């Protein structure tokens, strides 16, 4: 279980000024300013959850992950990972964590992938039997066999990421942090990573915190989303609730046999008419799709119809827009 | 007690494996190794040769004869070579701080100072040891240094202690980066100071400078004071000969201090923006 209470993280950064004059000034008397990367974040994540931690670039996602994993000390606020503070008892907490930063590998660049696993085995004191069993699982879930003996620098990005995931899971941590694990990968590699995440979660009830910009990741994996912007939590709840609230409209596209009838139902809007085709929009909290469909079919013969679900991209658009 | 032993075994197994990995990594690039194998001994042999020219053409340096100078130079280089083999990372500590290089170590259930201390074994550093041994052995035979049991233990403890002083000195100066978040560029300055104070007798410098290198930054204990004691040279040093061999004690003290400062710094560590 992860509990974060009122987390704040401030960085002191030197202001860079332009030109030679600015550079000289910075050398003699650097001007410092405080940046608040995380500004009062609180949440609670239970065992076995897969939570999407979303937000635009610079929102403070990585900084939060670094605090939760004990890399950074919060400026203020409290973190408890299974009841223990990573700030005060770092080694005890990290024993039970797996962490992957998509932008930066934990693997040893110059050596064959297997050496990095061997190092993990010693660091986490994994017994020989356990190690063999875990390696077997990882091999079958991630298809490591084909590149286990290749130097990490020669791996494709997708293979490297699979290696990183395996290294992070070898000691069977109960919590897995993934910071942009699918960044830069092609579609098949992304899918392999997603399948692995889902598998690990169902097999061992591993709690997973995932930051991503990929909405497919979110749709496939996350039951719950926490959205942050400018260091603050702006949304926290089940995926469906979020969609209900932020995109309460649903659309039905209908093909009529003959020309489109006049539809006048209170609360249902006609947003598009094109030949025999019509698009209706309604508030999903007030109507069910079925009731709208039956009202329409009473008025005219329908050849075909489809219900359009709102895209997560649309739902989150307003959080991503103001930072782009 | 068995907890402690288990913990030692754990750290030893991780430490030795990291060392093995470091060596393996370097063997991946043999050409790089070979070029250093030629360059580094050359550089130091030229250094002694210059020294010899200096001493031949002018008077002995601050009363030190060439054989004595070679002994001091060689002794200083031994700990330099050893430091470069086992502790080269202390030269790069500030860059690791700035680039977020401690993230990975902080994620492991192991002491970070330990991981840092044993993170690397620099094979190429052995190349620095070759001229060191040649020059020191030459110095020993020219001065007629007597390899008694006591003297041998003395030399060994001085070399080990001096290695600790050197790496702790670099660690301490680079630790500033934890707070300033800037590369300290102390390596160049520190390196210069180190060469000047370990390859030549301190007594050629002004008294104030000598005093600083004895009591403030005790680099004088790397080769100068031990040489005076081992060769029984009495001129030009204010320090009693018994203290002159305190190199291991000072090394351990500086190592302890560097660990304290490192751990303080780590609390201020801010990773790096992504
Ligand atoms: N080590 C650091 N030093 C200074 N500023 C940082 C550091 N890490 C992050 N920041 C700043 O904090 C803010 C949040 O960064 P980050 O957590 O990396 O965002 P995200 O992962 O959501 O893209 C950004 O403005 C970033 O520049
Ligand atoms: Mg990030």
DSSP A194-210: HHHHHHHHHHH--EEEE
Q: Which of A88-97, A121-130, B178-187, B246-255 has the lowest mean pLDDT?
A: B178-187
- CA-CA distance, A240 to B80, in Å (whole number)? 64
| The pLDDT value given to residue B121 | 87
For residue B272, tell me if it sits in a domain. no
Q: How many structural domains does chain B have?
A: 1
Q: Are residues A125 and A207 in the same domain?
A: yes
Confidence class of residue A263 from pLDDT cuts 50, 70 and 90? confident
Among B24, B25, B107, the residue with its CB nearest the CB of A99 is B107
Nearest ligand by distance to the CA of A183 = 2
**Is A323 near ligand 1, meaning CB less than 6 Å away?**
no
- Taking the CA of residue A228 as reference, the ligand 1 atom at the shortest distance is 22
Task: Determine the average pLDDT of the residues in A121-139.
Answer: 96
Answer yes or no: do B181 and A62 touch at CB < 8 A. Answer: no
CATH of the domain at A57: 3.40.50.300
Q: Are residues A252 and A299 in the same domain?
A: yes
For residue B271, tell me if it sits in a domain. no
With H, G, I as helix, E, B as strand and everything else as coil, classify residue A103: coil
In this predicted structure, the answer to whether residue A298 has a pLDDT above a threshold of 90 is no
Q: Are residues A181 and A49 in the same domain?
A: yes
Q: What Å distances lie between residue B264 and A84, A228, A291, B11, B261, CA to CA?
A: 22, 32, 66, 22, 5
Q: Are residues A50 and A199 in the same domain?
A: yes
Residue B109 sits at the chain A interface (C-beta within 8 Å): yes
Residues of A in contact with B13 (CB under 8 A): 122
User: Three-class SS string for chain B?
Assistant: CHHHHHHHHHHHHHHHHHHHHHHHHHHCCHHHHHHHHHHHHHHHHHHHHHHHHHHHHCCCECCECHHHHHHHHHHHHHHHHHHHHHCHHHHCHHHHHHCCCCHHHHCCCCCHHHHHHCCCCCCCHHHHHHHHHHHHHHHHHHHCCCCCHHHHHHHHHHHHHHHHHHHHHHHHHHHHHHHHCCCCCHHHHHHHHHHHHHCCCHHHCCHHHHHHHHHHCCHHHCCHHHHHHHHCCCCCCCCCHHHHCCHHHHHHHHHHHHHHHHHHHHHCCCCCCC
**Is B270 near ligand 1, meaning CB less than 6 Å away?**
yes
For residue B123, tell me if it sits in a domain. yes
Picking from A243, A267, A301, the residue at the C-terminal end of a domain is A243
| The pLDDT value given to residue A232 | 95
pLDDT digits (tens, 9 = 90+) for B75-87: 999 999 999 999 9
- Higher pLDDT pick, B172 / B43: B172
Mention every residue, 6+ apart, whose C-beta is less than 8 A from residue A97.
Answer: A69, A81, A173, A175, A176, A177, B107
**Is A227 near ligand 1, meaning CB less than 6 Å away?**
no
pTM over 0.80: yes
| The pLDDT value given to residue A129 | 96
In this predicted structure, the answer to whether residue B236 has a pLDDT above a threshold of 70 is no
Among A12, A66, A111, the residue with its CB nearest the CB of B25 is A111
Picking from A198, A221, A243, the residue at the C-terminal end of a domain is A243
Residue B179 sits at the chain A interface (C-beta within 8 Å): no
| The pLDDT value given to residue A250 | 85
Q: Are residues A153 and A65 in the same domain?
A: yes
| The pLDDT value given to residue A307 | 86
For residue A24, tell me if it sits in a domain. no
For residue A22, tell me if it sits in a domain. no
In this predicted structure, the answer to whether residue A11 has a pLDDT above a threshold of 90 is yes
Query: Which chain B residue shows the shortest CA-CA distance from A26?
Result: B182
Token pair in block for residue B256: 């302890």
Q: How many CB atoms lie within 10 A of CB A193?
A: 25
For residue B175, tell me if it sits in a domain. yes
- CA-CA distance, A232 to A11, in Å (whole number)? 16
pLDDT digits (tens, 9 = 90+) for B6-36: 888 999 999 999 988 988 888 877 777 777 7
Query: Which chain B residue shows the shortest CA-CA distance from A104?
Result: B274
Nearest ligand by distance to the CA of A59 = 1
Report the separation in Å between the CA atom of B4 and the middle of ligand 1, taken as the mean of its atom positions: 39
Task: Determine the average pLDDT of the residues in A33-62.
Answer: 94
Q: Are residues A181 and A313 in the same domain?
A: no
Q: Are residues A280 and A212 in the same domain?
A: no
Given the DSSP bridges, would you call strands A207-211 and A175-179 parallel, antiparallel or unpaired?
parallel
> Whole domain around residue B232: which residue ranges?
2-266
Residue B99 sits at the chain A interface (C-beta within 8 Å): no
Task: Determine the average pLDDT of the residues in B46-66.
Answer: 75
For residue B274, tell me if it sits in a domain. no
Nearest to A167 by CA among A180, A182, A152, A154: A152
Confidence class of residue A324 from pLDDT cuts 50, 70 and 90? very low
For residue B273, tell me if it sits in a domain. no
For residue A33, tell me if it sits in a domain. no
Confidence class of residue B234 from pLDDT cuts 50, 70 and 90? confident
Q: Are residues A309 and A203 in the same domain?
A: no
For residue B134, tell me if it sits in a domain. yes
Protein residue with least CA distance to atom 17, ligand 1: A60
Task: Determine the average pLDDT of the residues in B228-235.
Answer: 85
| The pLDDT value given to residue A284 | 81
Its sign, for the CA torsion A168, A169, A172, A173, is positive
Query: Which chain B residue shows the shortest CA-CA distance from A13?
Result: B181
Mention every residue, 6+ apart, whose C-beta is less than 8 A from residue B260.
Answer: none
In this predicted structure, the answer to whether residue A186 has a pLDDT above a threshold of 50 is yes
- CA-CA distance, A307 to A305, in Å (whole number)? 7
Task: Answer yes or no: are the C-beta atoms of B165 and B254 closer than 8 Å.
Answer: yes
For residue A195, tell me if it sits in a domain. yes
Q: Which of A37-51, A216-230, A287-301 has the lowest mean pLDDT?
A: A287-301
For residue A28, tell me if it sits in a domain. no
> Whole domain around residue A57: which residue ranges?
2-6+40-243
In this predicted structure, the answer to whether residue A102 has a pLDDT above a threshold of 80 is yes
Residues of A in contact with B274 (CB under 8 A): 62, 101, 103-104, 179
For residue A14, tell me if it sits in a domain. no
Residues of A in contact with B113 (CB under 8 A): none
Task: Determine the average pLDDT of the residues in A130-148.
Answer: 95
Q: How many CB atoms lie within 10 A of CB A158?
A: 17
Task: Determine the average pLDDT of the residues in A118-129.
Answer: 96
Q: Are residues A263 and A140 in the same domain?
A: no
For residue A182, tell me if it sits in a domain. yes
Cα A294-A297-A302 angle, rounded to 5 deg: 135
**% of chain B surpassing 90 pLDDT:** 50
**% of chain A surpassing 70 pLDDT:** 98
| The pLDDT value given to residue B135 | 87
Report the separation in Å between the CA atom of A218 and the middle of ligand 1, taken as the mean of its atom positions: 22
Picking from A182, A213, A243, the residue at the C-terminal end of a domain is A243
- Higher pLDDT pick, B42 / B55: B42
Task: Determine the average pLDDT of the residues in A129-145.
Answer: 95
Answer yes or no: do A111 and B103 touch at CB < 8 A. Answer: no
Q: Which residue has the tokens 């992957």?
A: A100
pLDDT digits (tens, 9 = 90+) for B77-129: 999 999 999 999 998 999 999 999 999 999 999 999 999 999 888 888 888 88
CA distance B57 to chain A (A): 45
In this predicted structure, the answer to whether residue A132 has a pLDDT above a threshold of 90 is yes
| The pLDDT value given to residue B58 | 61
| The pLDDT value given to residue B240 | 67
For residue A21, tell me if it sits in a domain. no
Q: Are residues A96 and A235 in the same domain?
A: yes
Task: Answer yes or no: are the C-beta atoms of A43 and A236 closer than 8 Å.
Answer: yes
Q: How many structural domains does chain A have?
A: 2
In this predicted structure, the answer to whether residue A194 has a pLDDT above a threshold of 50 is yes
Residues of B in contact with A115 (CB under 8 A): 21, 24
ipTM: 0.84
Helix (H) or strand (E) holding A253: strand A249-256
Q: Are residues A231 and A292 in the same domain?
A: no
């Amino acid at each position: 279980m992860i509990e974060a209470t009122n987390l704040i993280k401030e960085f002191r950064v030197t202001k860079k000024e332009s030109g030679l004059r600015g550079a000289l000034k910075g050398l003699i008397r650097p001007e410092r300013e405080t940046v608040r990367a995380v500004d009062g974040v609180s949440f609670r994540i239970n065992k076995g959850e897969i939570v999407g931690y979303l937000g635009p670039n610079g929102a403070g996602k990585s900084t939060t992950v670094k605090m939760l994993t004990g890399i950074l000390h919060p400026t203020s606020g409290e973190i408890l990972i299974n009841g223990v503070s990573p700030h005060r008892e770092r080694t005890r907490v990290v024993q039970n964590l797996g962490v992957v930063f998509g932008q930066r590998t934990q693997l040893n660049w110059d050596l064959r992938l297997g050496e990095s696993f061997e190092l993990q085995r010693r660091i986490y004191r994994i017994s020989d039997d356990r190690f063999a069993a875990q390696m077997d699982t990882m091999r079958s879930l991630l298809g490591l066999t084909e590149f286990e003996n290749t130097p990490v620098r020669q791996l494709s990005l997708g293979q490297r990421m699979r290696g990183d995931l395996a290294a992070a899971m070898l000691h069977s941590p109960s919590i897995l942090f993934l910071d942009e694990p699918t960044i830069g990968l092609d579609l098949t590699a992304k899918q392999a990573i997603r399948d692995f995440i889902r598998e690990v979660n169902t097999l061992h009830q591993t709690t997973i915190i995932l930051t991503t910009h990929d909405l497919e990741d979110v749709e496939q994996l996350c039951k719950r989303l926490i959205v942050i912007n400018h260091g603050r939590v702006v949304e926290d709840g089940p995926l469906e609730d979020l969609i209900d609230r932020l995109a309460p409209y649903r659309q039905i596209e209908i093909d009529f046999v003959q020309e489109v009838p006049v539809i006048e139902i209170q609360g249902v809007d006609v947003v598009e008419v094109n030949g025999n085709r019509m698009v209706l929009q309604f508030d999903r909290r007030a109507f069910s799709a079925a009731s709208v469909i039956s009202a329409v079919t009473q008025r005219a013969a329908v050849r075909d119809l489809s219900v359009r679900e709102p895209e997560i991209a649309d739902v989150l658009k307003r959080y991503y827009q103001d930072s782009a | 007690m068995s907890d402690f032993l288990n913990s030692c075994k754990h750290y030893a197994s991780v430490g030795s494996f990291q060392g093995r990995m470091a060596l393996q990594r370097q063997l991946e690039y043999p050409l790089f190794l070979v070029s250093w194998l030629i360059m580094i001994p050359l550089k130091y042999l030229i250094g002694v040769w210059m020294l010899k020219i200096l001493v031949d053409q002018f008077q002995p340096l601050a009363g030190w004869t060439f054989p004595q100078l070679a002994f001091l130079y060689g002794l200083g280089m031994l700990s330099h070579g050893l430091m470069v083999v086992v502790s080269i990372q202390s030269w790069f500590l500030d860059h690791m701080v700035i680039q977020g290089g401690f993230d990975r170590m902080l994620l492991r259930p192991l002491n970070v100072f330990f991981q840092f201390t044993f993170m690397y074994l620099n094979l190429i550093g052995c190349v620095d040891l070759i001229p060191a041994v040649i020059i020191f052995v030459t110095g020993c035979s020219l001065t007629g240094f007597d390899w008694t049991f006591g003297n041998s233990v003395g030399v060994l403890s001085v070399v080990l202690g001096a290695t600790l002083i050197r790496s702790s000195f670099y660690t301490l100066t680079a630790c500033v980066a934890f707070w300033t978040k800037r590369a300290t560029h102390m390596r160049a300055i520190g390196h210069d100071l180190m060469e000047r104070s370990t390859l030549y007798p301190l007594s050629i410098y002004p008294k104030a400078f000598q005093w600083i290198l004895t009591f403030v930054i005790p680099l004088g204990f790397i080769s100068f004071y031990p040489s005076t004691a081992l060769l029984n040279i009495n001129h030009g040093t204010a320090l009693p000969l018994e203290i002159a061999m305190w190199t291991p004690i000072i090394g351990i003290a500086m190592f302890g201090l560097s660990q304290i400062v490192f751990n303080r710094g780590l609390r201020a560590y801010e990773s790096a923006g992504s």
